Every structure is written in C-alpha cells, then in structure tokens.
Structure 1
Amino acid sequence: MQPILKSCCGVDVHKNMIKVCIAKGPMDSPPKLYTRTFSTMTADLLKFKDWLKANDVEAVAMESTGVYWKPIFNILEDEFQVILANPQYLKKVPGKKSDVKDCEWIASLLRCGLIPASFIPPRPIRELRELNRTRRKLVGMMASEKNRIQKVLEDANIKLASVVSKIDGVSSMNMIRALLSKDKLSKEEIADMARGKLKSKVDKLVEAMNGKVTDHHRFLLKLHLANIAFLAEQVQEIDEQIQKLMIPFQKEESLIQTIPGISKTSAAAIIAEIGFDMSQFPAEAHLASWAGICPGNNESAGVKKSGKIRKGNSYLKATLIEVAWAASRTKGSSFSAIYNNIAKRRGKKRALVAVGHQILIAVHRTLKTGEPFVDQGAEAVYQRNLEARQQFAIRLLERSGYTVAKASA
C-alpha cells in the first residue's frame, strides 16, 4: 500500500495512560517507529503535543475509547488533524495484541490513509449535544419516578391508572397530592379535581381512589413527587441553556421545523447530533447509514441475510422515532401515508423506522439546499403506490403469457 503521510502518530487510549507511536520516514521506504508512553494528565499531554511538533507530525489517529479520547482531542484539535476511528475498523488478530502493537498498527494504517474518520462536530455543536443528551437522560429519570408512583399506588390498592390515561396528568397529580393528607377523598373533592373528560368518570374515579394508603405509602409518594419536581426544574434550566446555544442556528432550526412532526425541542436535538453543515456527509444515504436508521446490508455467497438496522447513533434514532410518531399522526401528510402503507404489511415498529428514515432524508435535503420542506401530501404517496402495484400486476401477467392492454376510457 502506498503511504500518503511522511510523519503520523497512532495513539492507543486508556483511562490513565496513552501509548503512542510515531511512524516517520520517506514514502519510498519503511518508516521508523518511535514509541513512548504518556499519562492522561494535562501537563503530560502538553509534553506529548510538543513531542509531536518536534517530529513534524501531520496527523494523529486514535480509537474512540469511551470518553477517554476527549482529553487528548481537546489538547490536539487546534494544531493537528485528529482522526477519531471506530474501534471495529482497527481490530487485530486475537492473540497478537498489546498496547505497543496497537499504537504501531494504528500508525501504520494512518500512514497509508486506511482509517476512516468519525464525525466530530465543532465545539458549539458538541456542547449543544451534551445538553440535549443530558436532557434526554433527565426525562427518562422522570419517567422512572412516575412508574414508581404507579407502583406505590398499586400497593395501596389505588387503581387510578385503570381510569385515567396518564398518571402524571393534572387531575391525577392533584388527587395523588390530596392523598398525602387524607385517607379517603369524597366524591365532591374528586369531582372538583377532575378535568376535561374525567368529569364524566367521577363514579369510576371514586371506586379507583378507594384504597388503603398508609404512612409508608405517603412517605414514598412524597419522595417520588419531590424527585419529579426537582427533575422538572433541571429540565427547564437545560431548555433555557439550549435555547441560548441555538441562537446562532435559528435559521436551520426554523427550516427543519417545516417538516411535519418536528417540534422546537426535537429540532434542537437533531441539530445537536448531525450539526448544520451537511458537507460532512457526501449524500443523504451516508447520513442515514451513520445514524443507523436505514436497512442493514448483510450478504454472503449471493445470499442476502438479515437487513436489521445498525446500532448507529442511538440518541438521534430515538429522536427520529419520536418525530415519526408525531408525523404519522399528521393528517394529510406524506409521512402518515408512508406509515399506514407499511404498518399494515410489516407492523408499526418497522413503519416507524421507515418514516424516521424518510424524515432524516428530508432534514438532510432541507439543510443542504436551505429551502423549506414541501410536503407532497398523502394523496401523492397513495397514487405512487397504486401505480407501482399496477406495474407489478402487469409484469406478473406478462410472465404468465398474457398480453395486457389498457382499456380506453
């Protein structure tokens, strides 16, 4: 393999130390390998940076090992081309592995340009990404606390979830808080707390709220309610900080909100994961593959095996599936037609993944062209599917020896 770099460095990353190897020499002869060990403390990483400068290193490659690559990247990103590699692309033969061999192998691959670089967004997007991922974690923690409240209510013979659709709704939370100070709620009190459609279910609510609430249950309910309130405050603070960081990207945010199903929150989450510069991805298919939202490709000996989606970016996938749920319920949209067409044949989950795939393609096109999304509408999708089915039926008949001619109107 023809080398393309005169001097490059491979880094084997660990929590407390890094093993580094510089491959240096003329391109028409084997390089000399210089191996050293540095700690991951900032002072030692600065010495590592000076060593790279002294050897005229052009590029540095390392595995994306957990979060341990970030301190090295923070030190080197301003002055070197840093390539972050997927560890799956750098695997060696089992039984012939050591830290020294790993960094030498990375340097050898980098010298020949054989390491595909992972997508690392600029610092403002990375900060936005951390906030959005933290927000998702906190929302998940709130959902866990709500499930624990449901568990306590069941233990206290309170069957509220059998009547209401959301245990965290306004009416439900008012009734739960009232149980903290009373053993039993009267019909009049329940009727006053009921909102909307629940006003017609007062009798069922009275039966559901007739339980055996003890001081132990009240203690747990207070604990879980306090946790939910605290988490809600944290989510609010993160939302405010996200909006501050989104000020430079208001144009991109408003553009992708023209796509059905994408709200202000999901728009910020999508931009946080893929950035705003679509030149990072050569085509929309590359973006879908990187996200892990497109069908997998697994073929051997001419036999196509499972087409399940790849792992990809789990945060982006989760956001796209949420957006797909909303888009599938937008009446008259092309996404709702795509969802209905696939769901009846392949099931709801596969249909959601397919809609999420189409939404990501629309996001790529919108950000690349800078033009708002124009929905074709459900009717156009149904007509396209009808024509495809007609062509399939005609081919099937022709293969059976029939001649098909369209009757004149």
Structure 2
Amino acid sequence: MHEELYRVIGIDFTKVPGFNVLSIQTIISETGINHNKWPTEKHFSSWLGLSPGNKITGEKVFSTKTCKVTNRAANALRLAAHCVSKSNTTLGAQCRRWKKRLGAPKAITAMARKLACIFYSMLKYGQEYVEKGIDYYEKLYQDRVMKNLSKKASEFGYILVKKDELVQGVS
C-alpha cells in the first residue's frame, strides 16, 4: 500500500511524524493531489478549518475559535497531531510545549495546522521532510529563552552572567 501511494503521489509522506498510510489516503482523497486550488498554505489550512477565526468589531475581539468544519482531512490531521504529541521528535517536543501553555485541545489544533502546512509544502513544491531531532529543537528553544531573558534583564538595568564566568575566590 505504501509503495502504491508513493508511486501515485511521488512523495513519501510517511517520513513526517504522525502520518501513516491511512491518514495520507484520507487527506489525499479529500484534497486531491493538485494543490493549485489554494494559493498559499494559509488558504489551505483555513479551508480545512484549522485556522483561528477573527470575530472583531469596534476593535474588540469577540472570538478567535476555529470554525466548525466537518472535513475528514482535518480530522485525519488532528489524529496525526495527537500521535505526534506522543512521539520523541521535534514536532512532538513543540506540541508538548504548546500543550503546557495553551491546553490540549488548542495544541492539537495548532499542531494539526502545522502538519497541514508541512503536507501542503511537500505536495505543492515537492519538498522532503527532514527531521532535525529533539535536541535541535531544545537548543533553539533554550537560545530563544536566554535571548529574551537577557533582553528583559537589560530593560531593568541588570546584566546576566553565566555561572562559569563568575570569578572564583573573591570574598
């Protein structure tokens, strides 16, 4: 089944964490293999109902919930996102971090949208998915946290110094 799917589409989607042959078949059967219908991945994720709504009137935000769409492709992407959250990959680490911050339902929808964007770019541009690993993501996250922390400290007039750089023996 996997070889036949690869022969028809020409791209191996099973390299993406969370995607299996059944979920790929479901998404392809709903969307087709011609993605010229959607100019960008934002349009694609909005069509799937994975983008947040924007109910604003008079500069007041009333709701940012996603629209209710009964789309089998969106359901398959949500299922794949749930599988990703349990995996030991870059996307899994990101999903777990989103779960802590946003809560499980919003994190699953956000990861489903990210998977939809990956799916769109792989199909439209023929890009291959490259897993960089959880260590790469954790290093990027630590660098981002340190940059934000040092920026915040400088706003308050402090300087951050690493423990290793402290002068020993001064008292």
The answer to whether the 8 A contact 1:329-1:336 is kept is yes
The structure carrying a bigger helix percent of its residues is 2
For residues 269 and 358 of structure 1, what CA distance do their matches in structure 2 show? 17
For residues 353 and 290 of structure 1, what CA distance do their matches in structure 2 show? 14
For residues 44 and 65 of structure 2, what CA distance do their matches in structure 1 show? 17
Q: What corresponds to 2:23 in structure 1?
A: 266
Note the 1:324-335 alignment, pairs <5 A.
Answer: 324-331=81-88, 333-335=89-91
Query: What is the SS of the residue equivalent to 2:149?
Result: helix
TM-score by length of 1: 0.36
Given the alignment, which residue of 88, 111, 114 partners 1:358? 114
Q: What corresponds to 2:159 in structure 1?
A: 404
Identical residues among aligned pairs (%) = 20
Is 2:98 the partner of 1:348?
no
For residues 250 and 310 of structure 1, what CA distance do their matches in structure 2 show? 35
Note the 1:45-56 alignment, pairs <5 A.
Answer: none
For residues 391 and 305 of structure 1, what CA distance do their matches in structure 2 show? 33
Relative contact order, higher structure (CA 8 A, sep 6+): 2
Given the alignment, which residue of 46, 50, 59 partners 1:293? 50
For residues 343 and 334 of structure 1, what CA distance do their matches in structure 2 show? 14
Runs (4+) of structure 1 moved beyond 3 Å? 247-251, 403-409
Q: What corresponds to 1:387 in structure 2?
A: 143
Q: What corresponds to 1:321 in structure 2?
A: 78
Cα distance 1:378–1:251, how it changes in 2: closer, same or farther (>3 A)?
A: farther
Over residues 321-375 of structure 1, what are the superposed CA-to-partner deviations in whole Å (9 max), with x where a residue is unaligned?
11112222222x1121111101122222222111111111110111112232112
The answer to whether the 8 A contact 2:11-2:123 is kept is no
Note the 1:182-197 alignment, pairs <5 A.
Answer: none
Q: What corresponds to 2:124 in structure 1?
A: 368
User: Post-superposition shift, 1:377?
Assistant: 1.9
For residues 339 and 356 of structure 1, what CA distance do their matches in structure 2 show? 10
For residues 330 and 389 of structure 1, what CA distance do their matches in structure 2 show? 23
Given the alignment, which residue of 59, 73, 77 partners 1:302? 59
Gaps of 5+ in 1: 1-242
Over residues 139-180 of structure 1, what are the superposed CA-to-partner deviations in whole Å (9 max), with x where a residue is unaligned?
xxxxxxxxxxxxxxxxxxxxxxxxxxxxxxxxxxxxxxxxxx
For residues 44 and 90 of structure 2, what CA distance do their matches in structure 1 show? 21
Query: What is the SS of the residue equivalent to 1:257?
Result: helix
Is 2:9 the partner of 1:252?
yes
Cα distance 1:264–1:297, how it changes in 2: closer, same or farther (>3 A)?
A: same
- For these two proteins, the number of residue pairs brought into alignment is 163
The answer to whether the 8 A contact 1:255-1:371 is kept is no
Amino acid at match of 2:92: S
What's the RMSD between the two structures over aligned residues?
2.6
The answer to whether the 8 A contact 1:289-1:312 is kept is no
The structure carrying a bigger strand percent of its residues is 1
The answer to whether the 8 A contact 2:90-2:137 is kept is yes
Query: What is the SS of the residue equivalent to 1:395?
Result: helix
Given the alignment, which residue of 41, 50, 69 partners 1:284? 41
Amino acid at match of 2:159: V
Q: Which structure would you say has the larger Rg? A: 1
The answer to whether the 8 A contact 2:84-2:91 is kept is yes
